[in-house]
Amino acid sequence: MSPSEAKEAPKYTKKDFESDQDVRWCPGCGDYAILSAIQKTMPDLGIPKEDIVFISGIGCSSRFPYYMNTYGFHTIHGRAPAIATGLRVARPELKIFVVTGDGDGLSIGGNHMLHVLRRNVNLTILLFNNRIYGLTKGQYSPTSELGKVTKSTPVGSVDRPVNPLSFALGCGATFVARTVDRTIPHMDEMLKRAAAHKGTGFIEILQNCNVYNDLAWNVIYDRESKVQHELRLEHGKPLLFGPPDDRRALIMQGVSPKVVRAKDVPESALWVHDETNVNAAKLIADLFAPDFPIPVGVLAAVEAPVYEDLILEQEQKAISDRGPGDIAKLLTSGDTWKIS
Amino acid sequence: MSPSEAKEAPKYTKKDFESDQDVRWCPGCGDYAILSAIQKTMPDLGIPKEDIVFISGIGCSSRFPYYMNTYGFHTIHGRAPAIATGLRVARPELKIFVVTGDGDGLSIGGNHMLHVLRRNVNLTILLFNNRIYGLTKGQYSPTSELGKVTKSTPVGSVDRPVNPLSFALGCGATFVARTVDRTIPHMDEMLKRAAAHKGTGFIEILQNCNVYNDLAWNVIYDRESKVQHELRLEHGKPLLFGPPDDRRALIMQGVSPKVVRAKDVPESALWVHDETNVNAAKLIADLFAPDFPIPVGVLAAVEAPVYEDLILEQEQKAISDRGPGDIAKLLTSGDTWKIS
Amino acid sequence: MAQIATPATGAEKSRKALDRAVIRFAGDSGDGMQLTGEQFTTESAWAGNDLATLPNFPAEIRAPAGTLFGVSSFQLQFGSQRVYTPGDRLDCLVAMNPAALKVHLSDLKTGGLLIVNTQAFDKRNLDKAGYAANPLDDATLAERYRLHKVDMTGLTLEAIKDLPLNTKEKDRTKNFFALGLVSWIYTRPLEPTLDWIKKRFIKNKDIAEANTRVLKAGHAFGETAEIFVEHYAIEAAEMAPGLYRAMTGNRALAWGLLAAAQRSKLPVVYGAYPITPASDILHELAMHKRFRVRTIQAEDEIAAVTAAIGASFGGAIGVTASSGPGIALKGEGIGLAVTAELPLVVLNIQRAGPSTGMPTKTEQADLMQALYGRNSEAPVIVLAPATPGDCFFIAYEAVRLAAKYMVPVIVLSDGFLANGSEPWLIPDPNTLPPIEIQFRTEREGFFPYLRDPATLARPWVRPGTPGLEHRIGGIEKQDVTGNISYDPENHDHMVRTRAEKVRRVAQEIPPTSINGPATGDLLVVGWGGTYGAITAAVEQAQTAGKSVASVHLRHLNPLPPDLGHILREYRKVLVPEINSGQLVRVLRAEYLVDAVGFNRVRGLPLASEEIHEAINQLLGGKA
Amino acid sequence: MAQIATPATGAEKSRKALDRAVIRFAGDSGDGMQLTGEQFTTESAWAGNDLATLPNFPAEIRAPAGTLFGVSSFQLQFGSQRVYTPGDRLDCLVAMNPAALKVHLSDLKTGGLLIVNTQAFDKRNLDKAGYAANPLDDATLAERYRLHKVDMTGLTLEAIKDLPLNTKEKDRTKNFFALGLVSWIYTRPLEPTLDWIKKRFIKNKDIAEANTRVLKAGHAFGETAEIFVEHYAIEAAEMAPGLYRAMTGNRALAWGLLAAAQRSKLPVVYGAYPITPASDILHELAMHKRFRVRTIQAEDEIAAVTAAIGASFGGAIGVTASSGPGIALKGEGIGLAVTAELPLVVLNIQRAGPSTGMPTKTEQADLMQALYGRNSEAPVIVLAPATPGDCFFIAYEAVRLAAKYMVPVIVLSDGFLANGSEPWLIPDPNTLPPIEIQFRTEREGFFPYLRDPATLARPWVRPGTPGLEHRIGGIEKQDVTGNISYDPENHDHMVRTRAEKVRRVAQEIPPTSINGPATGDLLVVGWGGTYGAITAAVEQAQTAGKSVASVHLRHLNPLPPDLGHILREYRKVLVPEINSGQLVRVLRAEYLVDAVGFNRVRGLPLASEEIHEAINQLLGGKA
Ligand SMILES: Cc1ncc(C[n+]2csc(CCOP(=O)(O)OP(=O)(O)O)c2C)c(N)n1
Ligand SMILES: Cc1ncc(C[n+]2csc(CCOP(=O)(O)OP(=O)(O)O)c2C)c(N)n1
Ligand code: SF4
Ligand code: SF4
Ligand SMILES: [Mg+2]
Ligand SMILES: [Mg+2]
């Protein structure tokens, strides 16, 4: 049963989701915007707030649960997806959000991320990607660009970065989206979409760490650059981007995406976005500025079996077939012998 | 410097690579074929055998190093990629092979697999995929099909499997290939290709566990079925498969692969395989019988910076710029004061 | 089936009464020795004997036939008195091939019964076993032991030559010949095995027929063949009346959890990653979904323990299990449960280490890890079962204490208990102590770390409870409110509180029962799977008039409150362990008693013989 | 720069001579208190004082301004005699805002010097600090302390009003005003700071100018303002002659590894995953690539330790470091290095736990984990530095022993040593013991587990060596050959051999130096970062005529061979630790001495005061 069916949720306001804890992020941190966006969206989910749980690992981003007036568990580094899986299997009627970072979710937590995604556990995962380790005061992360100069890499990092969207899709994720900490309304929309998804809803949120990696995402923050590069994905709509006076279209040339002037392309030849096509999503996920647009929105949303649903089906079937377990019966079943 | 440049390798035979240890796999295990294929291929690599190291985790597959008369380290479960990374950074002149299984490499070891692939460490990774945990006597693995009945899942598994090729590509792998334990010559070829690759060469080897998951890959073992489904990938050749009298072609329809009768497709419209196109590789990786062919061969092979090369460049530059480190100098550098 | 077993036929030949016997079946991994041993065990249980078993198989799944490392064996001791261990030296060894003979002969008593399958002693097998010449031709063998060369293979094939089975299938039944023969020698009833064959091969009449015939052939062979001049009867043991079943430690742990689930009315979420020898608990639990046990085969041990913690946070019983290296990986997660103060049960089926070590071999070397294997001060409850059947009660108790004190409980079983079995007097579940779960629902005056004055436990709140929304985590927190706190005094207070909470569990521990005089020359202190060996050794010494007693600890943290007093009642204290001396260090540090250890770390259970010697040495006497 | 510092000007006002002083700078995370403290430290070092420092900052990166949890502070004690600790109670407190006053006032001695930045005491900040009224208006404050209200902000802005900087930039320089003022009060030379400013802001003349002016303004203010009636001089301490530098523990560990790399002529492969407070070692090493240190920022702690093991297998020096939960994750990997018998150095910068605990706070609670935090019997060498500078020698020694005995070495530093600094007499690297690495190359008679009779170390072979191809692993192996072996006696032998190998390290340990009488009423035994506090307390008691001595252990496994004998020479034994009593348990178990612990677990160093009290209590005396 979904929580909403369970009980009628009271009418909430943003305030209802603000906890009494002082928020301990640096002034100017992108996390503030995300926090307020989420607190603002919560009432629209129509879920009683006692049925909502935020689970996180460790990191600035993972401090998140303390600031939500719901149930919350700030756990250990990288393990939030596993903990959330256990919680969901125990309590499938709860609405569970996982908050993680590019280090928490993709460095130490990469394996749990892989497996929660392939299992398609019904969770909403918010990955705050600031391309840096914030809490530990600024080392490069798995999403930092090659050659990144940080405390731990004074002459530049030597690791090729991982793309969270491509990774998630490679793991078999059933819902993959991207949004940006500075576009509140879009964040709201993505959040609702992900929360409504049956299975694991994975959202990458581009987030600014103004202390250790300021403006890492400026290419999508800067007004002019944003106009040039932002590609808003909308199901059923063609992949068009760029300024009104110079629209660009993304098309397939053979098996490679290509950018062309929109007016040079016949209506029929446009690439129409289809959230249910994971193949397409994988191609879109790899795109980024400057040579390509920056996709924002829902890349993929497909139906697939949900891990804990199957577990409970098996349990229900076992009980309806042979009745609930009875330890006394079990103990005396099979080979026994009496001694008198 | 590559080992071969280092010294002239003696002329070896298969025998030179057989260790004195008794092989402890079950009679009939697919691992035997892989072992002899690899022992047979080694001489062709032209590398002195003292410069070759096999690193493995834990599992039947991971017993592999004991049987190779080279240097070898049978480590702990899932960690071989990390251990190999450390070894490679310490000794970049060695030729290192990692042998792992679908459990060792994709269950407990999934995170290290992700990071070794994105870093593009110069290693050859052989993942023996038998879709089962062999050594622990037959529980389902991350590559087992949904609903798999095993010791740990008496009424069927509830996890959606991960596809090793799609996963590797999602992680940013630069060389991804698949081969089969029952096609020795093809194994040899793939092994040489992977070993020659600059960066991480990842090969999935479909392997038979005749005790706990016999004929899991029968769709590609069975002669008839193999003819129907095997798609041999060859760079620059069109994607054609199926029996001579009824050839099929794989083509792109919009952004989705589609199977059609070969003769219905004009030469020009054929999908020509391009190992350097990672986009294409991602689409091909997801294909499998019955609806699609089973791709075998090199899906992707692209150039990218190699982790340890960059580390050594930085080291060399530091030394050539300012000379080798001198602890006596360092100790007395900066703020000091004398007390007399 | 519940009845006193009737002795088998064949009473004409002289039948000697014994009060106990130790026998071992040994052969190739493919020879079905484990099955043979298990069946012989059931027959002996039927016969009303007390018994203890010791399966022993190679780490390799199916080692190549005939090799030394491919040998698999099953040992049991059965008797008309209390049987504490599988026994040390063998009265009877059945060797199905040369490798088995080579590996096991040294354990056979001089004058012991040695039965070999002659046909297996061909050139190929002799080479594989590293025999230059056929040992059966060596006269000394027949001099030292009562050697019986039996062409089991030949007799087997003969018995079923007319059946429509291929030679491989026919050959595979020869273990039933051995079983039939040895059953005759020790006057075991065949009913349970005949019964088992019927059920097992219901779908394959020919195989059923073959096994039946071969079993009887073996039995008849003993009865008629000239060579066996005598055979033996072992009277039923004096055992507490009641209904019995054979129980292994791993199954007992699983069933104990089922009992706890039913009694607490909570689902069990069992997070596990397969590993020898813990995997069978997962396999067992997966078959009992009706008890609302939800098994998660996790991606690794870290996910397994953290998934269990997530479940506990949700108000279910979070349980995880592993062995060896898998337990080492859980330390960080257990630390989270300690500071989050959530119930968690961790089953550790100890195996020989360090690192991968010897996965199928037993050991007791994880005690210190259980006590200290986490960063900083992270105290947990530690329990250890004494016998396979005791695993049932320990698992149940672990759940009860974890939920009552809101703290992790580590259970230290081992490979020997896990796979070994004993005749187990089936308990009445209603006699188990209740597991009362009170989830907090009252908003008034709620704080996440408000403590129960008696247990110091914080309230357990199920997410979904209106008005009690709260946040917890791994950072140090203020007592009562649970808010993040870096206050120095609060941290000191919390460190002491977490320790005190575990110390309070001492109030749950019954008075320590002493096996022997309440004061004397020597006290032998043990824990875990060595119970049988120690008890046998101590009783042997007592019979020899020594002033020796033993206590066996099931609670290792906290220790029983009366232990310090007891220790001081004896001149000396001996602590036998399958490790380099762990409990002995704990006792010395805790009570400043000059306890000495007896330590053998061979991947095998301790032999009561060697413990007995150690006792005598310590008492300066002779055996 | 190497010279005796010349006293600053301003000698007209009465100058009192002190032999030591404890001062603390406290303010907002944004106020630059750490920098201020470090500069004051350098000035004092210049002045030839001995000193010890204690930085203390919030876990939050940049806590919101004005909050209590956002307060950052830097304390140091400097003196003309040996200074062992940063000091307990404060002689002088500089509070840059109300929150800082609130958090730290209680540590100020009655009659102590209290300097506050008045302009920061506005409504907003007072609210944030939870002050109903302005404490500066409260007469009692001025009665209890020597209160000096200084409008530092105002005077700062005034001093640089003409400079082309915005207000924010100008305001940021006020910490230099505080520094200048306090430097005058304690007669510190300004040269080092002026010097530092020049270098640091070479690219930004205006900022340099501003800081310089403000520093001098603060200094002049002390000299001229009426309010400061007296100031102090602290003579240079009697310190061993030679060249000194300020050294922190983390840097010393890093440099010790560099020294080992150079001496052994081997590359260091350093696998680490960032974590507080260990990260700075990674940052430091990453800057010294010229020493052939290769840093791997791994995906997690497990990859970090296993990468280091891979490097050791390759013949490099494999090192890993972490803290708290990160160390718990390395247990399995360390076990592999134990059984593979490869050198490995594990640096554990202990922090307050359990679990995430208090990342920026210090603790000593990982000793038992270092000894036992792995599955089965997996003995390793355990070392602990006593002071920040000692970290250099311990890191070097760790590499030497790991390579000589082919075994992992765990180094237990802590957050206090890591960030604290001391004036460090720079050693001559040539006086360090040699690190002789002999890789085996001889084929004749080679076996992977053939042992050196003296050390029991197996040969270290670099892959790439012709003819020595071999395989090792985590499964139990036969001694000498290294082949997989499940033989029971061999396993027992290997368990004992691995233990004996570590025990042999005792032959490397110099005689334990005793601070005090060789026999007496009380011996205080310590380890790690408590060295200073214990020594100060013991010397205080000695001055008071008590028969007390202390020993400080740098080797925790194995323990010094002469320790048992030493312990028995005293009537009582006290073991102060920042944990619940870990070393004390080890000593009790090992030597059966009735040692008692003094334990405070607050995330802070122990105060010598409280240890001194504990000493007196134990001796039944008064302080
Ligand atoms: C087991 C463990 N390893 C390391 C750490 C230290 N640590 C805390 S947060 C963090 C990385 C945080 O990066 P990210 O997930 O991107 O979060 P951000 O702070 O950037 O939001 C690390 C390495 C830890 N707390 N626990
Ligand atoms: C830390 C740890 N966890 C679990 C195990 C038990 N274990 C050994 S191998 C294995 C899985 C092997 O599966 P795979 O990698 O597919 O190898 P295969 O035997 O199938 O070749 C497991 C779970 C272990 N040895 N160590
Ligand atoms: S460090 Fe970066 S991510 Fe963390 S709180 Fe500060 S600004 Fe935000
Ligand atoms: S269990 Fe399977 S994978 Fe392992 S050795 Fe046997 S057949 Fe091969
Ligand atoms: Mg981040
Ligand atoms: Mg497998």
Phi, psi of C475 (to 5 degrees): -80, 150
pLDDT at C82: 87
- For the stretch D186-235, pLDDT in tens is 999 999 999 999 999 999 999 999 999 999 999 999 888 777 777 888 88
Q: Please give the pLDDT value at position D19.
A: 86
Lowest-confidence region among B45-59, B96-110, B116-130, C49-63: C49-63
Q: Is D30 at the interface with chain C, CB within 8 A?
A: no
The pLDDT value recorded for residue A1 is 40
Average pLDDT, stretch D224-253? 87
Tens digit of each residue's pLDDT (9 = 90 or more) over D78-117: 998 889 889 989 999 999 999 999 999 999 998 899 999 9
Dig out the tokens for C582 from the structure. 């762990």
Residue D495 confidence (pLDDT): 98
Inform me whether the pLDDT recorded for C384 exceeds 60.
yes
Residues C190-200: pLDDT tens digits? 999 999 999 99
* Average per-residue pLDDT for chain A: 96
b/e map C568-595, b = 16+ CB within 10 Å: eebebbbbbbbbbbbbbbbbbbebbbeb
| Chain A with chain D: Cβ pairs closer than 8 A | 68
Q: Which tens digits make up the pLDDT trace of B298-317?
A: 999 999 999 999 999 999 99
Asked if pLDDT for residue A9 goes beyond 80, the answer is no
Instruction: Give the pLDDT of residue D227.
Output: 74
Confidence bin at D621 (pLDDT 50/70/90): low
Does ligand 4 come within 6 angstroms of the Cβ of C2? Answer: no
- Tell me: pLDDT of A4 over 60: no
Which residue's CA is the nearest one to ligand 2's atom 1?
C326
**Taking 60 as the threshold, does the pLDDT of residue C11 lie above it?**
no
Give the pLDDT mean for C105-117: 94
Q: Which residues line ligand 3 (CB under 6 A)?
A: A 25-26, 29, 31, 60, 130, 134, 209-212; D 61-62
Q: Does the pLDDT at position B2 exceed 80? A: no
Q: What are phi and psi of B302, to 5 degrees?
A: -125, 160
pLDDT of D623 strictly over 90: no
Is residue C1 very low, low, confident or very high in pLDDT (cuts 50, 70, 90)? very low
Q: What's the pLDDT at C64?
A: 79
Partner-chain contact C313 A87, CB within 8 Å? yes
Between D331-340 and D301-313, two packed helices, what is the crossing angle to 10 degrees? 10
Q: What pLDDT does residue D13 have?
A: 66
The CA distance from C175 to D346, in Å, is 53
Share of chain C above pLDDT 90, in %: 86
> In the prediction, which pLDDT does C30 show?
84
Answer with the residue of higher pLDDT: C477 or D62.
Answer: C477
Which residues from chain B sit within 8 angstroms of residue A283, using beta carbons? 255, 279, 282
- What pLDDT is stored for residue D223 in this prediction? 85
Q: Is A108's CB within 8 Å of D61's CB?
A: no
Q: Which chains touch A (3 or more CB pairs under 8 A)?
A: B, C, D
Query: What is the pLDDT at residue C194?
Result: 94
Work out the pLDDT band at B9, boundaries 50, 70, 90: confident
Residue to substitute in D61, D273, D349 for testing ligand 1 pocket (most ligand atoms within 8 angstroms of CB): D273
Give residue D9's pLDDT. Answer: 43
Mean pLDDT of the B122-133 span: 98
The span from the CA of D301 to the CA of D281, in Å, is 15
Please determine, for residue B335, whether its predicted confidence score (pLDDT) is greater than 90.
Answer: no
Mean pLDDT (whole number) for B38-51? 97
State which residue of chain B sits closest to D39, comparing Cα positions: B335
The total of other beta-carbon atoms located within 10 Å of residue A4's CB is: 14
- The pLDDT tens digits for D421-437 are 899 999 999 999 999 99
Q: What is the pLDDT of residue D238?
A: 83
Report CA-CA distances (Å) from C473 to C419, C437, C487.
Answer: 38, 22, 16
Amino acid identity for residue C360 in this structure: T
Specify which of B158-172, C221-235, D81-95 reaches the highest per-range mean pLDDT.
B158-172
**Cα A60 from Cα B265, distance rounded (Å):** 55
pLDDT value, residue D69 = 87
pTM of the model: 0.93
For residue D523, give both structure tokens.
């011996």
Closest Cα of chain B to C298: distance in Å?
A: 8
pLDDT over 70 (residue D4): no
With a cut of 50, say whether residue C59 has pLDDT above it.
yes
Q: How far apart are CA B208 and CA B129, in angstroms?
A: 8
Q: Is the bond into D427 cis (omega within 30 degrees of 0)?
A: no
Is the ipTM higher than 0.90? The answer is yes
Average pLDDT value for residue range D321-350: 98
D288 and B323 within 8 Å at the Cβ level: the answer is: no
How many angstroms is it from D350 CA to the middle of ligand 1? 17
Percent of chain B at pLDDT above 70?
Answer: 98
**Residue D328: closest CA among D305, D308, D344, D309:** D305
Cα D66 to Cα D76: distance, rounded to the nearest angstrom: 23
To 5 degrees, how large is the angle CA D388–CA D423–CA D88?
A: 70
CB proximity A113 to D under 8 Å = no
* Amino acid at position D21, single letter: A
**D185 has a pLDDT exceeding 50:** yes
- In this predicted structure, the answer to whether residue D8 has a pLDDT above a threshold of 50 is no
DSSP one-letter code for B262: G
Residue B268 makes CB contacts below 8 A (sequence gap 6+) with: none
Atom from ligand 2 closest to the CA of residue B129 = 16
Instruction: Report the C-alpha gap between C44 and C25 in whole angstroms.
Output: 15
- Name the closest ligand to CA B25: 4
Mutation pick for ligand 1 pocket among D62, D275, D280, D358 (CB with most ligand atoms within 8 Å): D275
Per the listing, tokens 């078999």 go with: A172
Cα A129 to middle of ligand 1, angstroms: 13
pLDDT in tens, D518-567: 999 999 999 999 999 999 999 999 999 999 999 999 999 999 999 999 99
Find residues 168-207 of chain B whose CB sits inside 8 Å of chain C.
none
Model pLDDT for residues C411-457, shown as the tens digit of each residue: 999 999 999 989 999 999 999 999 999 999 999 999 999 999 999 99
Q: Which ranges of chain B would DSSP assign to H, the alpha helix?
A: 3-6, 30-45, 80-90, 102-106, 110-119, 164-170, 184-196, 218-221, 223-229, 278-285, 307-322, 327-331
More confident of the two residues C135 and D9: C135
Distances (CA, A) of D374 to B125, C335, C604: 29, 15, 21
Q: Is B59 in the pocket of ligand 2 (CB under 6 A)?
A: yes
Q: pLDDT of A193-205, one tens digit each?
A: 999 999 999 999 9
Q: What mean pLDDT comes out for the span D5-20? A: 61
pLDDT for the residue numbered C586: 98
And the tokens for A28? Answer: 């100017």
Instruction: Output the six-digit token pair for B339.
Output: 């007390």
Q: Write the pLDDT tens digit of every residue in B197-223.
A: 999 999 999 999 999 999 999 999 999
Question: D135: pLDDT confidence band, cut at 50, 70 and 90?
Answer: very high
Per-residue confidence (pLDDT) for residue D332, from 0 to 100: 98
Alpha carbon dihedral D530, C584, D509, D405, in 10-degree steps, equals -120
Q: What is the pLDDT of residue D484?
A: 95
d(CA B155, CA C285): 12
Q: Which chains, if any, share at least 3 CB pairs under 8 A with chain C?
A: A, B, D
B314 CA: distance to closest CA in chain C (Å): 35
Percent helix, strand and coil across chain C, each to the nearest 5 = 40, 25, 35
